[in-house]
A and B are shown apart, each in its own frame.
Chain A
Amino acid sequence: AAFGLYFPRKEYSENVYIDQPAGTPLLRIHALRDSHGEVAHFHLCQNLIISRARSHENHWFQIREKTGLLYLSKSLDREDFNMLSVGNWMPLSKVMLYVFLSSHPFQEKECDSATRTTVFLSLINATAPVCSSLTARQLCFTEMDLSFHIKENKPPGTFHQLQLPSVHHLCQNLSISYKLLAAEGMPFRYNESTTGVSVTQRLDREERERYELIAKCTVREGFREMQVEVPFLVNVLDEDDSPPFLPNGTDTADAVVEFNRKEGTVLATLTVYDADTTPIYPLESSRKKYTGTIITDDPWISETFQVEHIFDEIHFSPNGSQVRGTRHEYKLVLNRSISVTDHRSFQLDVLVNDTEFHGPERSVMLHFNVSILPVSIQFPNMTYQFSVNRNAERFAQIGKICVENCMKFRGVNITYKLLSPNISCYPVSILQGREDKYGSLYVNDSSVLRRPECKEIQYTIQATDKQSRKHTKTLLTIVLEGTLLKKEEDCPDSCAVSKHHAECEECGGLGVLTGRCQWRQGSGKGITTNYSTCTPSIKTCPDGTCDVIESKDPAVCPQDCTSGNIIGGHGKGTGNLGIKSGHGICYCFPKKNCYCEKDDITEQLCDDVCKTVI
């Protein structure tokens, strides 16, 4: 790599006080190497950045190019402090400095290198404290957590100094010593004479990605002794050093295309593991790093299929400790809908490539055994026969017409058509059901039902696949039955208008099957999907969906289809259509409001007095 050196910390912090003398050391910055023989050079950006205030040129701070020691080159007096805090609204003034790193001596004093760390200096509006006023915590550590990151597979080196240069300079007559606890068996060493902490060997993230140690500090002042312990954390940074592998060696999956032929259908999934982490942020670059390509020179295959790659984080436990890894999933997806006539079988290979891994086993081959089966468009071996009551009204639902397996179809569009008979009796029509899977038969002209000469009517139904134009036919017999009832007068068009059991069943309305509306008795508990209501047919209304026939006329089933106001306790259905749940009895005036209310006026029982009067 071009820039191998790196900082083991993103941020450093220290306090600066008024009138601290020039030459005061502030803090020590370390760098770690990528390869042996690299020498670190530190450089300070000559710009002080102050949050929400203008930046200033740096006149006060310098860094030793070789050792990384940041020190005061000029003392900050009160005037400097005031200037630096103008416009800064924070209760505490903080200035920010960038420190850059290079393996060569710095030529130009520029502020643009990718490898940099940030130093936060808190400007304390007071002179430096006397050592006796500082707590052990303040004498030993800064406020910032002792948290570091070390790249895996890199040479060992010193990455931190526990002693605080500023405190060491200020409180020379105090004895402050450090220890690193819980370090036995861990690849870290503490050097007592320099208080430096180093990593002693190359680390492997796939073995362990987090080390938790404790830094202990002891302050001695005469006979007094104080101790502080703080966590000392090391995170191991990952690089792409593991090849992809197959769980249980599975590299083959069956992909069958039959009833579901729709574009976007996932046919099969194969999984590839990798011990490395894959950041989901930014997503696109990670996708590019781990590719999955269909290996084919058949244009039909490359147009019809695509591979979808998703990945997520999983955990491996190589030796008791948990480390993060990645599960990559490659899904074979239909890129376009496949015709019902297509019939092919072949093996489709997908090459998975871990592009950033530099080893021989950077790729694996996945195999999908694809079988595309044809689907025949035919009616089940029978003719349809439906009976229709002569009292049925317009939009009464008679039944459903379906070619074989039609409800399993996805991506197959079937059109149903009635070929008209030669006679004048022609009471029914057909409408396409949802997603063009089935056809719904309904009464289109109720006056035909009443004509005595119409008794049994024969139709031919034709089902056609839209894409292939393949079609099939069957016979449909409609038998008219029942005797004509006398029509009640003053009945509304719509069953949904009736709000009482009795008036409901006395009347008919659009969509009724036998000339009379049906009453659904609800449970009567609060706002429920099982509310009481009057409907042309309990089977289809209300069932929570506004089907093609119901949507032909708002009077058929407003309970499923209304988009108007609903007054009273209720819940609306999907897409804001219909009454999903209601309180008490729900009734509707088509194209106007619906009402859901409790029927509190219970019919009074006729008691003895009443009977006498009668």
Chain B
Amino acid sequence: LAGPPSPPGQDPHGWRVPVDCVRANELCAGEPSCSSRYRTLRQCLAGRDRNTMLANKECQAALEVLQESPLYDCRCKRGMKKELQCLQIYWSIHLGLTEGEEFYEASPYEPVTSRLSDIFRLASIFSGMDPAANSKSNHCLDAAKACNLNDNCKRLRSGYISTCSKEISATEHCSRRKCHKALRQFFDRVPSEYTYRLLFCSCKDQACAERRRQTIVPSCSYEDKEKPNCLDLRNTCRTDHLCRSRLADFHTNCQASFQSLTSCPGDNYQACLGSYAGLIGFDMTPNYVDASTTSITISPWCSCKGSGNMEEECEKFLRDFTENPCLRNAIQAFGNGTDVNLSP
């Protein structure tokens, strides 16, 4: 069915535009030298750490050859078909390249080029009103109403709410695994015009802020009996290709930067909010810690208690959620219906 493999495209700047890793894998499979090296590398990586792997000449040679193949530059798209397979291919190469212990890892996802303003435009068409219009209204309630008027949003929202509030037994409050899965489906399959309005609505009173906090049914998807250590939680997250990728995406797009006006990389609010929403439904699920209307504090369900000598590193990791000016500005900008005006 498919034609002969076409070379990766070129963008106007003459840079190679990365293909997705599933496609890159197909291209590699068509070339005997690439496919055999890739097989070698995967065997090298299985169950070994990077240093022992690189000590092996054959493994090193495989890695060097693959650096010239389309597999090397490949990326994945959020919510693409075969996303997990794509990420597995991505990490099979990149775990060999990076230390695997870096504080920040680069995102395996393609950069987000759309802007918040695109959402505002669409959102106002959907709701027939300016999101910033009525200062007295409860934006979070409006967002729920807007979702209920859309069949897809309504179906997936009630889907995750009923899954997450279903009591299993007297000791088991709910099935966290199923709840997370339903939340992932909601955020993957419902357009962000709806999901962002629910997640990032701006609030002037406590009832609204509590509704906002309750959006992801935190009693099931977020809270737990005990708070693990954040580094421990990060470790758990990194053993899972999807969670690892979403966390890397969050770090890439929400890492506070001194270089920009908004504190966000490339002043791109949309990218930061997208990667925040992408973490929901994984071990690193973030949420509002309280129903405060004046200050927004976000955190995953973890603390830095018991960090020993790693306390500094733990605090640094946690601060990217709790005290992150980029994330805070992005949420506030969304709530206010403002985006940065960028000259083209």
Q: Hey, which bits of chain A sit against chain B, CB under 8 A?
A: 10, 49, 51-52, 54-55, 86-87, 89-92, 112, 143, 147, 149, 235, 237-238, 277-283, 311-313, 324, 572-576
Contact = CB atoms under 8 A, between A and B. Distances in A.
Contact of B259 (A89, A91, A278): A91
Contacts of A324: 311
20 contacts: A86-B15, A91-B265, A92-B259, A238-B308, A279-B229, A279-B306, A280-B232, A280-B305, A280-B307, A281-B235, A281-B310, A282-B232, A283-B232, A311-B306, A313-B306, A324-B311, A573-B167, A574-B167, A574-B168, A575-B169
Given A277-B308, A281-B310, A574-B170, 16 more contacts: A51-B106, A55-B97, A90-B265, A277-B309, A279-B308, A279-B309, A279-B310, A281-B307, A282-B232, A312-B305, A313-B305, A313-B306, A572-B166, A574-B167, A574-B168, A574-B169
B51 interface: yes
Contact of A238 (B232, B306, B309): B309
A90 B308 CA distance: 34
Contacts of B107: 52
Contacts of B106: 51-52
B168 A575 contact: yes
B111 interface: yes
Nearest to B171: A574
Tell which of A10, A281, A324, A572 has the most Cβ of chain B within 10 Å.
A281
B73 A87 contact: yes
A576 B97 CA distance: 49
B266 interface: yes
Given A143-B258, A279-B309, A281-B310, A91 B266 contact: yes
Q: List the 5 closest pairs (A to B, CB-CB), nearest first.
A: A279-B308, A280-B306, A281-B232, A52-B106, A51-B106
Given A89-B111, A575-B168, A281 B259 contact: no
Given A91-B259, A235-B311, A575-B169, A281 B305 contact: no
B150 interface: no
B16 interface: yes
Interface in B33-70: 51, 67
B312 interface: yes
Interface residues of B, number: 34
Contacts of B311: 235, 324
Contacts of A576: 166-168
Contacts of B144: none
A87 B19 CA distance: 12
A578 to B, nearest CB: 11
Contact of A237 (B98, B229, B306, B309): B309
Interface string B285-309: 0000000000000000000011111
Nearest to A209: B311
Contacts of A55: 97
B231 interface: yes
A283 B258 CA distance: 36
B276 interface: no
A256 to B, nearest CB: 26
Contacts of A91: 259, 265-266
Nearest to B16: A87
A278 B308 CA distance: 6
Given A54-B67, A149-B312, A572 B167 contact: yes
A143 B263 CA distance: 14
Nearest to A145: B316
B267 to A, nearest CB: 9
A283 B229 CA distance: 10
A90 B51 CA distance: 27
A312 B232 CA distance: 15
B170 A281 contact: no
Contacts of A143: 258
Contacts of B259: 91-92
Interface string B153-179: 000000000000011111000000000
Contacts of A52: 106-107
A102 to B, nearest CB: 17
A576 B15 CA distance: 57
B324 to A, nearest CB: 15
Contacts of A147: 312
Contacts of A279: 229, 306-310
Contacts of B72: 54
A212 to B, nearest CB: 13
Tell which of B51, B111, B311 has the most Cβ of chain A within 10 Å.
B311
A91 B16 CA distance: 16
Contacts of B307: 277, 279-281
A86 B16 CA distance: 9
A481 B309 CA distance: 77
Contacts of B265: 90-91
A573 B235 CA distance: 37
Nearest to B169: A575
A88 B249 CA distance: 15
B272 to A, nearest CB: 14
Tell which of B167, B228, B259 has the most Cβ of chain A within 10 Å.
B167
Interface in B241-264: 258-259
A280 B229 contact: yes
Nearest to B310: A279
A228 B309 CA distance: 30
A312 B265 CA distance: 38
Interface in B98-140: 98, 106-107, 111
B101 to A, nearest CB: 11
A246 to B, nearest CB: 21
Nearest to A89: B111
Contacts of A312: 305-306
Nearest to B308: A279
B151 to A, nearest CB: 22
Nearest to B168: A575
A50 B72 CA distance: 13
A279 B313 CA distance: 13
B167 A575 contact: yes
Contacts of A311: 306
B18 to A, nearest CB: 8
A273 to B, nearest CB: 15
B244 to A, nearest CB: 15
B311 to A, nearest CB: 7
B51 A112 contact: yes
Contacts of B266: 91
Contacts of B51: 112
A86 B14 CA distance: 10
A279 B305 CA distance: 9
Contacts of B305: 280, 312-313
Contacts of B308: 238, 277-279, 281
Contacts of B258: 143
Tell which of A52, A112, A280, A575 has the most Cβ of chain B within 10 Å.
A52
Nearest to A314: B305
Contacts of A54: 67, 72
Tell which of A87, A92, A147, A280 has the most Cβ of chain B within 10 Å.
A280
A51 B235 CA distance: 20
Nearest to A112: B51
A278 B111 contact: no
Contacts of A313: 305-306
B307 to A, nearest CB: 6
Contacts of A49: 98
Interface in B65-88: 67, 72-73
Contacts of A281: 229, 231-232, 235, 306-308, 310
Contacts of B170: 574-575
A510 to B, nearest CB: 26
A86 B111 CA distance: 15
Nearest to A53: B73
A87 B15 contact: yes
B274 to A, nearest CB: 16
A283 B343 CA distance: 51
B312 A235 contact: yes
Nearest to B314: A281
